[in-house]
A and B are shown apart, each in its own frame.
Chain A
């Protein structure tokens, strides 16, 4: 082998700090250090503490005691059962929406599209809150409409409803992507060969969307398993692992048990994530041949059209009912008791309760641009550069998607409670949690976009004398600006709405709005909680608008410069 550039020697030459591009190497090393400290190390700490005793000796006592306890095993079964039920139902709802929107000539499509994605950017607690407002003891429907007394809405059924409403958009987005990507002529070919609509669906459309179905199931499962806010509010006697871990740490101060439980939680989410990433996504049939040659003809059979419309309308109506209830509730004195109109809830937030709002905004404002840019840089490095540990960098940075927030929270407490990395109680620990938890979506969309952009565009820039950095700033970043923007939006929304990780990391100085909402719900001050939620939604919408304008301006400036 002559001059083997891909061999070990070539790789070492590329990693050499005194190599061709020392700055790139430096960036790579820095990113690795941060990924190690803020993702790998906390997981390692959790693992260590669960297999040692209080003297640091190897011991399986903690694991043994958790496994011997039927109560925890029941929680595991609860979590898994709920996740399974939620993912199957979400899949059905998501498939109906995706099919109707991509295949059927249905009126009001843009509206349905919006409603089907709304729950993704909405704060936690919204749906649980309105669940209580609608179906609780003083519920609008249960009590006012049907006159029922002492209704118990806490438990599996309510969680099922609320989680399906929260997570079906993930299924919808995954499936609509797949359904859209199927070449329309493949379905036309089946029609042309004599197949009926039903048969085309059964023999062509459905089998071609199997990879999407599997993806959707697994992604929703991960989300359901990780969910903290809904089971916390609505779980009642139906205990899930996430809440269990939280109770162990905050209620019992038992770090060891918390750690063991979080590993029990991590294993299934990690398995689902790995299955999705490395097995299902390799099975895709999409774009085997040619280009999609024309716009897909939409089904206009009246039966299909109007039943799709009816189903979508029904779900949309439920979503609107839930959101409408929260808006209404934010203007009510005491829900179910004194239904007078009031602005007091808002007044309270703007006076006494404004600190958490400001904190949240401030920390999210720090974390978002850093995280957004970092995810684009990682995407760029992973797709375009060759270096030792490239796969590892991609894997570790995407791993955060599969790690439940609770696990991150516990890991951070264990890792950063002593010098030299004493971060507990600071705002920085929250910022770091935001950055490293919220990167994966930006990285995913960045890599997907980059892979579609011809490499030679960047090579042309290098060829004309630009360094890797200049090329990234002048060529790559403008080309992937939509991915950059969606990464930013996602990072921001997640930072503003995070609960599970941050609830373990907050301090009196750094209290956050989502945690305040939880406190209000627990004290049954539903009006204030609702007002917080509304303010959070408005802030997010404004911030997304600002980010949109900024990204546009940033890129435009570079184009004219």
Chain B
């Protein structure tokens, strides 16, 4: 803790990586009937100056991790460190990590200026420095002219910006976001998402962002952590996770995915052949799993990587449902009992099919991944 504060340069934020080591959180159930493992021995490193998203369904433990980092929840076992120094025994108000709350948690009895200046006042900085830094952030967040208003007099988007301003004005080591956009309407959510990302890139503050919205996660993150039932399913860049899911859960949670069962027919130097019904599918880049000859596997393919052949070549199937969505047309196609989703972009250039049509599908050999057939919906504990 003897680090001397440097000037407000990007360098200040280097070396503020957050490391979780075997982090565990157990809650006692409300009726005291037993225990609930919210976070199960999670080890992870959030890289310095990067924005990392914790993504998962509700109850997966993502918010618990964030609140443990902030210090609002006690750690059951394991360690959390920032820049190599453990913080689990540091009081929540001494951790120097700012949080942007889901409900914004603005102080309703203080005006906007005082809300933003609060953290600086707590630090007992000289009045002119408080003024200067607060005004700087007000300018940065384009909140000029609102200083004297109160939180209940401004819109949700503005409240969000004030919450963000209040968090960054104290120049924290790490920014924590707890589903900050979930109270905004769809349009504003996209706008604020880009604002947050721009600001984070500009300031380079290590950021940990909790959300259950996969689009938000993909748009905003350097790295994404997919969580399920207290465990990490996968960690990687949005592209790695989208194109190389470790298991069905990840494939399903991040975007739409089709799962088609088949059997390994042959392995060659330039790829793997998988038999699906009577059709042979070529897979150029099967991914992390190396299947054996004759093994039952699951093929994972994204809806946008499936094409209609326009003739009888390919996997034969029948359209069950056709949905026109404007920029895309989406079809559910029955193939040997599997339901396969196909997305066709700019459908006006292609035929728009109707339900009941018999079609044949071509799967792009570069876009298919192979998972073991037993790869469940997630890691069973």
Chain A residues engaging chain B, CB cutoff 8 angstroms: 183, 185-186, 188-196, 199, 203-204, 207-208, 210, 285, 288-294, 297
The 9 A-B pairs with the shortest beta carbon distances in the complex, nearest first, are A290-B103, A193-B119, A185-B105, A189-B105, A285-B108, A288-B108, A194-B122, A185-B101, A288-B152
Determine the distance from Cα of A222 to Cα of B72 in the docked complex, in whole angstroms: 41
Given A192-B92, A192-B93, A192-B97, the answer on whether A290 and B104 have CB atoms closer than 8 Å is: yes
Chain A residues, CB < 8 A from B101 = 185, 188-189, 293
B92, B109, B122, B151: the one within 8 Å of A289 (CB): B151
Scan residues 132-173 of chain B and give those whose CB is less than 8 A from a CB of chain A: 151-152, 156, 159, 166, 170
B98, B119, B151, B178: the one within 8 Å of A288 (CB): B151
Tell which of B109, B118, B151, B156 has the most Cβ of chain A within 10 Å: B109
Determine the distance from Cα of A185 to Cα of B93 in the docked complex, in whole angstroms: 14
Chain A residues, CB < 8 A from B54 = none
Tell which of A199, A289, A290, A294 has the most Cβ of chain B within 10 Å: A289
15 CB-based A-B contacts, threshold 8 Å: A186-B107, A186-B108, A189-B99, A189-B101, A189-B105, A190-B107, A191-B71, A192-B70, A193-B166, A288-B152, A289-B103, A289-B156, A290-B103, A290-B104, A293-B101
Whether the pair B105, A183 counts as a contact (CB closer than 8 A) is: yes
Taking the complex as formed, is B21 at the interface, i.e. its CB lies under 8 A from any CB of chain A? no
Determine the distance from Cα of A193 to Cα of B130 in the docked complex, in whole angstroms: 14
Chain B residues bordering chain A, tally (CB within 8 A) = 33
Determine the distance from Cα of A204 to Cα of B348 in the docked complex, in whole angstroms: 58
Whether the pair A204, B122 counts as a contact (CB closer than 8 A) is: no
A186, A192, A195, A290: the one within 8 Å of B98 (CB): A192
Contact flags (1/0) for B55-77 with A, using CB distance below 8 Å?
A: 00000000100000011110000
Whether the pair B123, A189 counts as a contact (CB closer than 8 A) is: no
Chain B residues, CB < 8 A from A199 = 122
Taking the complex as formed, is B374 at the interface, i.e. its CB lies under 8 A from any CB of chain A? no
Chain B residues, CB < 8 A from A288 = 106, 108, 151-152
Chain B nearest CB, measured from A375 CB (Å): 32
A183-B105, A208-B109, A288-B106 known, 16 other contacts, Cβ within 8 Å: A185-B103, A186-B105, A193-B93, A193-B98, A193-B119, A193-B170, A195-B122, A203-B107, A203-B118, A210-B109, A289-B108, A290-B102, A291-B103, A293-B102, A293-B178, A294-B63
Taking the complex as formed, is B202 at the interface, i.e. its CB lies under 8 A from any CB of chain A? no
Chain B nearest CB, measured from A284 CB (Å): 9
Determine the distance from Cα of A293 to Cα of B183 in the docked complex, in whole angstroms: 11
Taking the complex as formed, is B5 at the interface, i.e. its CB lies under 8 A from any CB of chain A? no
Whether the pair B118, A190 counts as a contact (CB closer than 8 A) is: yes
Taking the complex as formed, is B94 at the interface, i.e. its CB lies under 8 A from any CB of chain A? yes
| CB-nearest residue of chain B to A192 | B99
Chain A nearest CB, measured from B174 CB (Å): 11
A195, A207, A208, A293: the one within 8 Å of B103 (CB): A293
Whether the pair A285, B104 counts as a contact (CB closer than 8 A) is: no
Chain A nearest CB, measured from B176 CB (Å): 8
Whether the pair B107, A204 counts as a contact (CB closer than 8 A) is: yes
Whether the pair B103, A297 counts as a contact (CB closer than 8 A) is: no
| CB-nearest residue of chain B to A300 | B74
Whether the pair A196, B93 counts as a contact (CB closer than 8 A) is: yes
Determine the distance from Cα of A190 to Cα of B122 in the docked complex, in whole angstroms: 9
Determine the distance from Cα of A186 to Cα of B105 in the docked complex, in whole angstroms: 4
Chain B residues, CB < 8 A from A207 = 109
| CB-nearest residue of chain A to B115 | A189
| CB-nearest residue of chain A to B179 | A293
Number of CB contacts from chain A to chain B under 8 A: 91
Determine the distance from Cα of A203 to Cα of B110 in the docked complex, in whole angstroms: 9
Chain B residues engaging chain A, CB cutoff 8 angstroms: 63, 70-73, 92-94, 96-99, 101-109, 118-119, 122-123, 151-152, 156, 159, 166, 170, 178, 183
Chain B residues, CB < 8 A from A188 = 70, 72, 99, 101, 105
Chain B residues, CB < 8 A from A185 = 101-103, 105
Chain B residues, CB < 8 A from A293 = 101-103, 178
Determine the distance from Cα of A190 to Cα of B92 in the docked complex, in whole angstroms: 10
Given A192-B99, A290-B183, A297-B73, the answer on whether A186 and B106 have CB atoms closer than 8 Å is: yes
Chain A nearest CB, measured from B206 CB (Å): 16
Chain B residues, CB < 8 A from A289 = 103-106, 108, 151-152, 156, 159, 183
Determine the distance from Cα of A195 to Cα of B106 in the docked complex, in whole angstroms: 15
Determine the distance from Cα of A193 to Cα of B170 in the docked complex, in whole angstroms: 8
| CB-nearest residue of chain B to A193 | B119
Determine the distance from Cα of A189 to Cα of B67 in the docked complex, in whole angstroms: 12
Tell which of A190, A210, A292 has the most Cβ of chain B within 10 Å: A190
Whether the pair A194, B103 counts as a contact (CB closer than 8 A) is: no
Determine the distance from Cα of A289 to Cα of B93 in the docked complex, in whole angstroms: 23
Determine the distance from Cα of A293 to Cα of B180 in the docked complex, in whole angstroms: 12
Whether the pair B93, A194 counts as a contact (CB closer than 8 A) is: yes
Chain A residues, CB < 8 A from B63 = 294
Whether the pair A208, B108 counts as a contact (CB closer than 8 A) is: yes
Chain A nearest CB, measured from B49 CB (Å): 21
Tell which of B70, B96, B99 has the most Cβ of chain A within 10 Å: B99
Tell which of A183, A186, A196, A288 has the most Cβ of chain B within 10 Å: A288
Determine the distance from Cα of A188 to Cα of B183 in the docked complex, in whole angstroms: 19
Determine the distance from Cα of A191 to Cα of B105 in the docked complex, in whole angstroms: 12
Chain A nearest CB, measured from B150 CB (Å): 8
A194, A294, A297: the one within 8 Å of B119 (CB): A194
Determine the distance from Cα of A208 to Cα of B106 in the docked complex, in whole angstroms: 12
Chain B residues, CB < 8 A from A291 = 103
Chain A residues, CB < 8 A from B92 = 191-192
Chain B nearest CB, measured from A77 CB (Å): 35
Chain A nearest CB, measured from B196 CB (Å): 17
Chain B nearest CB, measured from A401 CB (Å): 28
Chain A nearest CB, measured from B227 CB (Å): 18
| CB-nearest residue of chain B to A290 | B103
Chain A residues, CB < 8 A from B151 = 288-289
Determine the distance from Cα of A191 to Cα of B106 in the docked complex, in whole angstroms: 13
Determine the distance from Cα of A426 to Cα of B231 in the docked complex, in whole angstroms: 75
Chain B nearest CB, measured from A177 CB (Å): 16
Chain A nearest CB, measured from B18 CB (Å): 15
Chain A residues, CB < 8 A from B106 = 186, 189, 288-289
Whether the pair B107, A292 counts as a contact (CB closer than 8 A) is: no
Determine the distance from Cα of A498 to Cα of B79 in the docked complex, in whole angstroms: 62
Determine the distance from Cα of A297 to Cα of B70 in the docked complex, in whole angstroms: 13
Determine the distance from Cα of A196 to Cα of B71 in the docked complex, in whole angstroms: 13
| CB-nearest residue of chain B to A292 | B103
Chain A nearest CB, measured from B304 CB (Å): 36
Whether the pair A297, B109 counts as a contact (CB closer than 8 A) is: no
Chain B residues, CB < 8 A from A186 = 105-108
B104, B122, B159, B183: the one within 8 Å of A193 (CB): B122
Chain B residues, CB < 8 A from A190 = 107, 118, 122
Chain A residues, CB < 8 A from B119 = 193-194
Whether the pair B109, A285 counts as a contact (CB closer than 8 A) is: yes
Chain B nearest CB, measured from A532 CB (Å): 42
Determine the distance from Cα of A294 to Cα of B103 in the docked complex, in whole angstroms: 10
Chain B residues, CB < 8 A from A193 = 93, 98, 118-119, 122, 166, 170
Chain A nearest CB, measured from B181 CB (Å): 12
| CB-nearest residue of chain B to A185 | B105
Determine the distance from Cα of A183 to Cα of B102 in the docked complex, in whole angstroms: 11
| CB-nearest residue of chain A to B156 | A289
Determine the distance from Cα of A46 to Cα of B332 in the docked complex, in whole angstroms: 82
Determine the distance from Cα of A191 to Cα of B99 in the docked complex, in whole angstroms: 10
Chain B nearest CB, measured from A296 CB (Å): 10
Tell which of A192, A207, A293 has the most Cβ of chain B within 10 Å: A192
Determine the distance from Cα of A203 to Cα of B114 in the docked complex, in whole angstroms: 11
